[in-house]
Amino acid sequence: MTTTGIIKGIIANLVLIEPNGPVRQNEICYLSTGAENEKLIAEVIKISGNTVFAQVFDSTRGIQCGTEVVFSGSMLEVYLGPGLLSKNYDGLQNDLDKLEGLFLQRGKQAYPLNDTQLWQFEPLAQPGAILSAGDWLGKVPEHGLQHIIMVPFNWHQRLTLQWVAPPGHYTIQETIAILTDHNGKEHPLNMVRKWPVKLPMRAYRQKLRPQKLLETGIRIMDTLHPMLEGGTGFIPGPFGCGKTVLQQSIAKQADADVVVVAACGERANELVDIFAEFPELVDPRTGNKLIERTVIIGNTSNMPVSAREASVYTAMTICEYYRNMGLRVLLLADSTSRWAQALREMSNRLEDLPGPDAYPVDLPAVIANFYARAGMVELNNGKTGSITFIGTVSPAGGNFKEPVTEATKKATRCFYALSQRRADSKRYPAIDPIESYSKYTEYPEFAASMAHIAGNRWLQQVQQLKNYLLKGKEAADQINILGDDGVSIDFHLHFWRAELIDFVLLQQDAFDTVDQLTPLNRQQFMTGLCLYICNQSFMFDNFVETRSFFKKIINALRQMNYTQFKSDAFNSYANEVNQLINLHLALQNN
Write out pLDDT tens, residues 83-126.
Answer: 999 999 988 999 988 887 767 778 788 999 999 999 999 999 99
433 and 473 together in one domain: no
3-state secondary structure of 36: coil
Q: What is the pLDDT of residue 104?
A: 73
What mean pLDDT do residues 284-295 have?
86
Domain assignment of residue 80, yes or no: no
- End residue of a domain, out of 163, 191, 219: 191
216 and 173 together in one domain: no
Domain assignment of residue 502, yes or no: yes
Q: What is the pLDDT of residue 243?
A: 87
470 and 435 together in one domain: no
Provide the mean pLDDT of the chain.
93
Domain assignment of residue 28, yes or no: yes
Cis before 112 (ω within 30)? no
Determine the structural domain holding residue 412 and report its residue range: 206-442
Q: How confident is the model at residue 506 (pLDDT cuts 50, 70, 90)?
A: very high
Query: What is the DSSP annotation of 277-338?
Result: HGGG-B-TTTSSBGGGGEEEEEEETTS-HHHHHHHHHHHHHHHHHHHTTT-EEEEEEE-HHH
Q: Which of 470, 466, 566 is nearest to 522 (CA)?
A: 566
43 and 175 together in one domain: no
29 and 130 together in one domain: no
Portion of the chain with pLDDT greater than 70, in percent = 99
Q: What is the pLDDT of residue 273?
A: 78
Q: How confident is the model at residue 504 (pLDDT cuts 50, 70, 90)?
A: very high
Domain assignment of residue 111, yes or no: no
pLDDT digits (tens, 9 = 90+) for 182-221: 888 999 999 999 999 999 999 999 999 999 999 999 999 9
Q: Which of 429, 84, 35, 492 is nearest to 223 (CA)?
A: 429
Asked which of 14-18, 55-59, 313-317, 435-439 is least confident by mean pLDDT, the reply is 55-59
Rounded CA-CA distance 507/526 in Å is 13
Portion of the chain with pLDDT greater than 90, in percent = 78
Rounded CA-CA distance 251/266 in Å is 17
270 and 212 together in one domain: yes
Flag whether pLDDT at 284 surpasses 80. no
Asked which of 46-50, 272-276, 379-383, 418-422 is least confident by mean pLDDT, the reply is 272-276
- Number of other CB atoms surrounding residue 159 within 10 Å: 23
Flag whether pLDDT at 431 surpasses 80. yes
Q: How confident is the model at residue 301 (pLDDT cuts 50, 70, 90)?
A: confident
Rounded CA-CA distance 254/281 in Å is 13
CATH of the domain at 148: 2.40.50.100
Q: What is the pLDDT of residue 509?
A: 93
Domain assignment of residue 271, yes or no: yes
Q: What is the pLDDT of residue 78?
A: 96
Q: How confident is the model at residue 511 (pLDDT cuts 50, 70, 90)?
A: confident
Asked which of 9-18, 95-104, 557-566 is least confident by mean pLDDT, the reply is 95-104
Q: b/e string for 387-396 if b means 16 or more Cβ within 10 A?
A: bbbbbbbbbe
Q: What is the pLDDT of residue 32?
A: 86
Burial bucket for residue 83 (CB in 10 Å: 0-12, 13-18, 19+): buried
CATH of the domain at 280: 3.40.50.300
For the whole model, what pTM was predicted?
A: 0.95
- End residue of a domain, out of 411, 442, 473: 442
337 and 383 together in one domain: yes
Residue 194 host element (H or E) = strand 193-196
CATH of the domain at 47: 2.40.10.170
pLDDT digits (tens, 9 = 90+) for 332-367: 998 899 899 889 988 998 889 899 999 999 999 999
What mean pLDDT do residues 242-267 have?
88
387 and 508 together in one domain: no
Compute CA distances 223 → 59, 203, 366, 532, 559, whole Å: 47, 34, 31, 16, 20
Q: What is the pLDDT of residue 205?
A: 94
- End residue of a domain, out of 166, 191, 216: 191
Q: What is the pLDDT of residue 62?
A: 85
Rounded CA-CA distance 414/392 in Å is 12
* Overall domain count for the chain: 4
266 and 301 together in one domain: yes
Q: How confident is the model at residue 307 (pLDDT cuts 50, 70, 90)?
A: confident
Domain assignment of residue 69, yes or no: yes
Domain assignment of residue 124, yes or no: yes
Q: What is the pLDDT of residue 171?
A: 97
CATH of the domain at 524: 1.10.1140.10
pLDDT digits (tens, 9 = 90+) for 513-532: 899 999 999 999 999 999 99
302 and 328 together in one domain: yes
Cis before 86 (ω within 30)? no
Flag whether pLDDT at 270 surpasses 90. no
- Give the torsion sign (CA, 360, 364, 368, 369): negative
Asked which of 78-87, 138-147, 393-402, 540-549 is least confident by mean pLDDT, the reply is 393-402
Which is higher by pLDDT, 99 or 81?
A: 81
Query: What is the DSSP annotation of 138-165?
Result: EEEEETTEEEEEE--TT--S-EEEEEEP
Flag whether pLDDT at 391 surpasses 90. yes
Domain assignment of residue 448, yes or no: no
Q: Which of 263, 260, 259 is nearest to 271 (CA)?
A: 263
Compute CA distances 227 → 252, 327, 507, whole Å: 15, 17, 18
- Give the torsion sign (CA, 70, 71, 73, 76): positive
Flag whether pLDDT at 222 surpasses 80. yes
Q: How confident is the model at residue 508 (pLDDT cuts 50, 70, 90)?
A: very high
137 and 221 together in one domain: no
- Give the torsion sign (CA, 485, 487, 489, 493): negative
30 and 60 together in one domain: yes
Q: How confident is the model at residue 561 (pLDDT cuts 50, 70, 90)?
A: very high
